[in-house]
Structure 1
Amino acid sequence: MRDKRDVLLVDGYNMIGGWPGLAALSKNDLQAARDSLLERLADYQAFSGRKVVVIFDAYRVPGLGKSFTQNQVEIHFTKEKETADECIERLSYEFASSRRQIYVATSDMVEQHVIFGQGALRISARELLVQIEQSEKEVKSKIVERSESASRNTIDSKLSPEMRKMFERWRRG
């Protein structure tokens, strides 16, 4: 059965360059920046319900063109002599269907105009970062809420005072 979820295509290096924390990290350790991006996108995918596909430009790296899945996120390194923009255009065409909305996360203005022509919606690097930070806040608040409710004796809080007294008498024998 085909996946009918909305799809978010992410220009990986565009996000790394557009997010201040990842841009700083990439100057010292590009792999750590990629890993951090992929981890946050995996969490966002679980929260949003969108299928996330990340494309990394391997234009100057011969012999790449690999695709794999990591933490449920589909990752593509472009083929030799293929740019991330070309790969995004190809994937947005492949994913297009009447029941699926395609979103493309890039701050590249030329790419934004091309994907608009294909019916996809664009999300800038900054907008995606804001959406991800908001989802992380919501997840944290739900975790705190659940841990607080789990620490309370929920059955005891639902009992009437008479029932509590009766159970206490039984407990004491």
Structure 2
Amino acid sequence: MKNIFVDGYNVINSWEELRDNNTGSMENSRAKLIDILLNYGTYNGYKIFLVFDAHLQAKSLEKREKISKNLIVVFTKEGETADSFIEKYVNRIGRTSEVLVVTSDSLEQQIIFQRGAVRMSSIEFYHEVKKVENKIRVESDKNQDGKRYTLEERIDKEIAEKLEEMRRNK
């Protein structure tokens, strides 16, 4: 399974549709990103770690929330940036697992590349996610168009005959 580490605030600030002036608040932006990544990860079978900085929050502890088997949301502890959290985990698994890190921080991109991960900028990731959303939409439309059945096709022939008889006898 491919592991993807996403610098949450970096992505939010890079994607126009997620910036808080479009969503109303940073909380709404985080929720929308979680929904987007949940669909993306589930469709592709990827395990995604969405990491948010909490390093400036006094006395904050690391918090992890498993949204699904494909998505874990992490808020770092006081004094720990999303970059340092991602570096720590990539250092552990980067050379033994397939790892992608999504961030537009150029220094972070260099560091994670040295530790065995592949990098993708937030904007590149945006286009990747939109491509997958379109695939999902097309597949969904195909499935809905091809599966329209009449009542007669859905029920047992004997029941259909009884219903028709009832209709005629009113």
Q: What's the secondary structure of 1:151's corresponding residue?
A: coil
Range that drifts further, 54-63 or 24-33: 24-33
Residues 97 and 118 of structure 1: CA distance in aligned 2, closer, same or farther (over 3 Å): closer
Counterparts of 1:57 and 1:66 in 2: how far apart (Å)?
A: 11
Is 1:41 aligned to residue 48 of structure 2?
Answer: no
Residues 37 and 77 of structure 1: CA distance in aligned 2, closer, same or farther (over 3 Å): same
Q: What is the aligned residue count?
A: 149
Report the alpha carbon displacement of residue 50 of structure 1 after superposing the two structures with TM.
1.3
Correspondence for 1:109 among 81, 106, 113: 106
Range that drifts further, 143-152 or 37-46: 143-152
Counterparts of 2:56 and 2:112 in 1: how far apart (Å)?
A: 24
Give ranges in structure 2 of 5+ residues lacking alignment: 154-170
Counterparts of 1:26 and 1:115 in 2: how far apart (Å)?
A: 31
Q: Which residue of 2 aligns with 1:65?
A: 62
Report the alpha carbon displacement of residue 28 of structure 1 after superposing the two structures with TM.
3.4
Is 1:124 aligned to residue 116 of structure 2?
Answer: no
Q: Which residue of 2 aligns with 1:13?
A: 9
Report the alpha carbon displacement of residue 152 of structure 1 after superposing the two structures with TM.
5.7
Correspondence for 1:81 among 79, 99, 102: 79
Identical aligned pairs, as a percentage? 29
> Normalized against structure 1, the TM-score is what?
0.80
Q: 1:116-143 CA deviation, whole Å, 9 max, x = no partner?
A: 1101000111111111111111001101
Counterparts of 1:119 and 1:82 in 2: how far apart (Å)?
A: 22
Correspondence for 1:28 among 24, 45, 52: 24
Report the alpha carbon displacement of residue 106 of structure 1 after superposing the two structures with TM.
0.1
Range that drifts further, 55-64 or 102-111: 55-64
Is 1:137 aligned to residue 138 of structure 2?
Answer: no
Letter in 2 for 1:53: F
